[in-house]
């Protein structure tokens, strides 16, 4: 997976491995990000044994999917809270 010029504050990774995988219907997928302006985020996956678009009714064998989601808080948050202890958890209020 690619590296970015910024360091994420939150990162989630998952790996799925399977011997056989088959969709009876074509999958409908989407990824969307909601939140305040200034956040940097990325969602990406590396696939082995699966094409970018899978076909319904086709059996895929020996598959691996590595998925990563990462998000960085806006740079202005550090400027708004000078001297904040980095060891303290950060909270984000809903807007």
pTM here is 0.62
Do residues 62 and 17 make contact, with C-beta atoms less than 8 angstroms apart?
no
User: Token match 């999958």: residue?
Assistant: 27
Using CA atoms of 78, 82, 85, 88 in order, give the dihedral in degrees to the nearest 10: -50
Residue 94 counted as domain residue: no
Give the residue carrying structure tokens 């009714």.
Answer: 57
Look at residue 26 and tell me if it is in a domain.
Answer: yes
Q: What is the pLDDT along the chain (95 residues), one digit of tens a residue?
A: 556 677 888 899 999 999 999 999 988 887 776 766 777 888 899 999 999 889 999 999 999 999 999 988 777 544 444 444 444 444 443 33
Q: Is residue 46 part of a domain?
A: yes
Give the number of other CB atoms < 10 A from CB of residue 70: 19
- Evaluate whether residue 91 is within a structural domain: no
Q: Would strands 10-22 and 59-72 be described as parallel, antiparallel, or unpaired? A: antiparallel
For residue 25, CA distances in Å to 48, 54, 65 come to 21, 10, 20
In a domain, 40, yes or no: yes
Number of domains in the chain: 1
Q: Residue 51 is part of which domain span? A: 10-75
């Amino acid at each position: 997976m690619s590296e970015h010029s910024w360091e994420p504050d939150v990162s989630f990774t998952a790996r799925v491995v399977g011997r056989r995988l088959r969709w009876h219907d074509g999958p409908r997928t989407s990824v969307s990000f909601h939140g305040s302006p200034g956040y940097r985020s990325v969602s990406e996956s590396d696939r082995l044994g699966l094409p970018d678009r899978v076909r319904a009714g086709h059996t895929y064998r020996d598959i691996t999917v590595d998925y990563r989601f990462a998000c960085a808080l806006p740079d202005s948050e550090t400027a708004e809270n000078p001297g904040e202890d980095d060891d303290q958890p950060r909270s984000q209020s809903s807007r």
